[in-house]
Amino acid sequence: MGPGFATLTRVVTPLTSTPAAQGGVTPLPVPAEALKPYHESVKAIVEWYDALPPDRRAAECERAGLIVVKDPTAETGLVHFEPADRYHSGLLDQYHTRPGVGVPVVAWRPNDGTGRLDNLRPPEGLAAAYTAVVLPAGEGKWMLRFVNPVEHSTLEIGGKPVTVAANYSAPIAQLVEKARPLARSGFSGMLSPTKSKRREKLYLMEPYDPKKIPLLMVHGLQSTPVAFINLTNDLQSDPMVRQRYQIWHYHYQTGTPVLLNATNFRRVLSSTLKEIDPQGDDFATNHLVVIGHSMGGILTHTLVSEPGYKLWDSVIKVRPDKVKMPPESLAQLKDVFLFHHDPRVKRVVFISVPHRGSTYADNFVGDLGQTLFRPDRKVTDVFGHLVKVQREVVHPFVVGLYEQGKFSSIRTLSASSPSLQMLATLPPEVPFHSIIGQKGAGPLDLGSDGIVTYKSSHLDGAESELVVRSGHNSFRKQEAVAEIKSILYEHLRKSGS
């Protein structure tokens, strides 16, 4: 603490006495190099403050002559304050920052379940961006202020407005570091869906706001929400997106057969919206926009489709009243095939989605994955009972999967899947957009992102379709990010939100 204050006494005078530039706001009140000693001192004080036990901070700060002020943020109860440069090494593709006065800080707290809806927040912890400044407070005291850089782009220092430094990406980078175990779980979640400690769940990336549009992202096969972290970072850096949208993520174990996973998705979404808004009358819970990548796009397609009996008939030759199953199993089967579109979803974006299947589901890659796959007996038994009792009414493709022990997401993404082919014919009931990757040059009809062909990803009737030079993770490309921002802006305009 001492060295920090000693340096501050020497460097704070030029900081508070530099004349303002024309227009009244200086991008930097003094040259960046001249600010270095000041920022080093502020950083030392932040580290000293963070190292203090929270219950001793008030007494220690009073003894040191330090007044601590924290701007309000949407996140509450933040108790740890770490300099943002701890999280600046390869965790994100881009860091969205603003040069200026102050030391960017990640303020965070453990997710201890004490806040409303903490159970729907990332268990790795809850964080927000701050910027620390230290200034004289009179009578020999100093003020350590944690400035909210989202609300304050400038700050008056020495009677003059100066630009406040910011690092908007650091809290997200911190989450990436803490979520490394989750990121590594994608492969095991595909092969052994029953063994994962983290089951299907919808996560809110920020405190719930009843007035903001939820932007729900649904990841694909062998993946987790961490795959979307760069997209999340890029979208949250946009002031309009940050002001009008709140980002949510859906996490699930991807090895379960695709339509069963879609059933779970619809169930979790409905139960979560009910928990968030029991009366069901918030603007937010009735105006969702959904982004689905790869298999997540198929789950999303079921949210906005009216299948009638088309999906059922594509797999089962008789209607439910002729099916010989226990009532509970029959109800599960109906949930898979007989559903309605969710009117709370207003727009969707499909990214590299295998609407008509992927050749990887049937080639040696799929064979290898299937060899390692360990099925969920609760899932397979629903269809297994029907195959055993009424084999003749079940489509041969499904019979084969069950009898060969291949009833997984890998095989149900096959172009031979009758239900997948039927779902591809169902027009979404809401405006939708497609973003499709193409690895090489050549005609679109022959194009592929290496996993999914253009012919499989394309859906007629899209309000827009963007093909980017990319592999399967096309949402990582800046052209795709710009397209998504454009779609979100257009949604605000067309919906009058």
pLDDT in tens, the chain (497 residues): 444 555 555 556 555 554 444 444 444 445 677 788 889 999 999 999 999 999 999 999 999 999 999 999 999 999 999 999 999 778 899 999 999 999 999 999 999 998 889 999 999 999 999 999 999 888 889 999 999 999 999 998 877 888 999 999 999 999 999 998 888 876 554 444 455 667 899 999 999 999 999 999 999 988 899 999 999 999 999 999 999 999 999 999 877 888 889 999 999 999 999 999 999 999 999 999 999 999 999 999 999 999 999 999 999 999 999 998 888 889 988 999 999 999 999 999 999 999 999 876 544 333 433 443 445 555 566 777 788 888 899 898 888 877 776 655 566 677 888 999 999 999 999 999 999 999 988 888 889 999 999 999 999 999 999 999 999 999 999 999 999 999 999 999 998 87
Is 215 found in the same domain as 154? Answer: no
Domain boundary (167, 190, 213) is at 167
Measured distance CA(246)–CA(304) in Å, rounded: 20
Is 296 found in the same domain as 183? Answer: yes
Is 89 found in the same domain as 202? Answer: no
Can you give the residue range of the structural domain that contains 105?
2-167
Query: Where on the phi/psi map is residue 128: left (φ > 0), alpha (ψ -120 to 50), or beta?
Result: beta
Asked if 122 and 203 touch (Cβ cutoff 8 Å), the reply is yes
Is 192 found in the same domain as 163? Answer: no
Is 185 found in the same domain as 144? Answer: no
Measured distance CA(196)–CA(185) in Å, rounded: 8
Domain presence at residue 172: no
Asked if 102 and 163 touch (Cβ cutoff 8 Å), the reply is no
Is 361 found in the same domain as 472? Answer: yes
Measured distance CA(458)–CA(445) in Å, rounded: 10
Domain presence at residue 101: yes
Predicted local confidence at residue 441, as pLDDT: 85
Domain presence at residue 173: no
Q: What is the pTM of this model?
A: 0.90
Q: Are strands 154-157 and 160-163 parallel, antiparallel or unpaired?
A: antiparallel
Count up the domains in the chain and report the number.
Answer: 2
Measured distance CA(343)–CA(462) in Å, rounded: 18
Domain boundary (167, 198, 216) is at 167
Q: What residues contact 67, with CB distance under 8 A and at least 6 apart?
A: 61, 137, 141, 142, 143, 144
Domain boundary (167, 193, 214) is at 167
Is 153 found in the same domain as 51? Answer: yes
Domain presence at residue 174: no
Predicted local confidence at residue 17, as pLDDT: 52
Is 372 found in the same domain as 442? Answer: yes
Asked if 336 and 259 touch (Cβ cutoff 8 Å), the reply is yes
Is 380 found in the same domain as 339? Answer: yes
Domain presence at residue 28: yes
Is 190 found in the same domain as 155? Answer: no
Is 256 found in the same domain as 190? Answer: yes
CATH number at residue 367: 3.40.50.1820
Is 282 found in the same domain as 228? Answer: yes
Torsions phi, psi for 421 (to 5 deg): -65, -35
Asked if 5 and 45 touch (Cβ cutoff 8 Å), the reply is yes
